[in-house]
Amino acid sequence: MSSSSSLSNPPTLALRNGLKHPVIGFGTYKVGVIPASASSAVASGGPSSVERTAEECVADALDVGYRFIECAQFYANESEVGKAIAKSGVDRKDLFICSKVWTTTIEQGPQAIEEQLMKTLADLGTDYVDLYLIHWPVPGKHVEAYKTLEKLADSGKIKGIGVSNYAWEDYVELKENGVKNLPLVNQIEINPFLYRKNTISKFAEDGVVLQSYRSLRDGKAFDDPTVLRIAESHNRSAAQILGRWCVQKGFVYIPKSVKKERMVENSEVFDFELSEAEMAELDSLTTPKAIETFGSLYRKCVNRDTSKDGTLDGVKMTITED
């Protein structure tokens, strides 16, 4: 299977509403824009410089063959993504577009959420999104926000609703508060270095498909000895091993790059398989420290950019971390 054909006609996962979700997509976080509160921008004291515009990068991704484009209000580049889509000549029916509503809008309530959805649609140049996600489970606000998306979905502007960064306990909170159409997906960090088996199993058993962000760990694991050894045995790159692990596990794989050749490389994960032993080796790379770090990050981020930023007000202190 060639890279282009794999991308233009990739394997799909069936969502519980019948939607067919491509197993691979192009992520647009920090593509063309570094959001002001992104960790890298905060660490450097301001927005970092970017190599290329989001329009240029997404144009390349579409040209290479990616058809699932992962977006978000927070990424601050949806208008650029929309320009690339408009100029690409790719039919809307052949695209699968996912976006997410940010914490600030979630906190402001239903009207702000509806207005943001309309802005996202206008920026992306489309009448609907295939998936619209709650970006973080903002304490005291995310259930109302989710119910708002349920109402908006009735208009046809949202084909499917999902969540992102939800702990199992956040999902249970939705169920306990009368949500009728449960999330189709949960987008969380998943890679061999943060493989939360218990959480993933709970969601999978309840019919939720897992989208993986940081599938390639931002390149920070490309020199890991285990990954490199397995890569060498298959004559593959470290990125391709991490990507193959992701799709072989049954997760949605969302690599990102600003370089066209890397976009191609990242996508070439459908023409080889990892052995059971290799998969088990990769599974074992998650350390207790990684799980602990995840828990701290969750508690820090659920109130991120809201009026309660920097506090633990309303934050669930006990969640399923592993």
Active site residues: 75
Round to the nearest angstrom and report the end-to-end CA distance of the chain: 35
State the Rg of the chain over Cα. Answer: 19
User: What's the CA gap between 182 and 164, in Å, rounded?
Assistant: 13
The pair of structure tokens assigned to 26 is 């192009």
Q: Could you count the other beta carbons within 10 Å of the beta carbon of residue 130?
A: 21
Give the Cα separation of 297 and 236 in Å (integer). Answer: 32
Q: Are 127 and 121 within 8 A, CB to CB?
A: yes
Are 137 and 163 a contacting pair, CB within 8 Å? yes
What tokens were used for 22?
A: 């491509």
State the Cα–Cα distance between residues 266 and 218, nearest whole angstrom. Answer: 12
Give the alpha-carbon dihedral of 219, 223, 229, 231, to 10 degrees: 30
Instruction: Report whether 69 contacts 10 (CB < 8 A).
Output: no
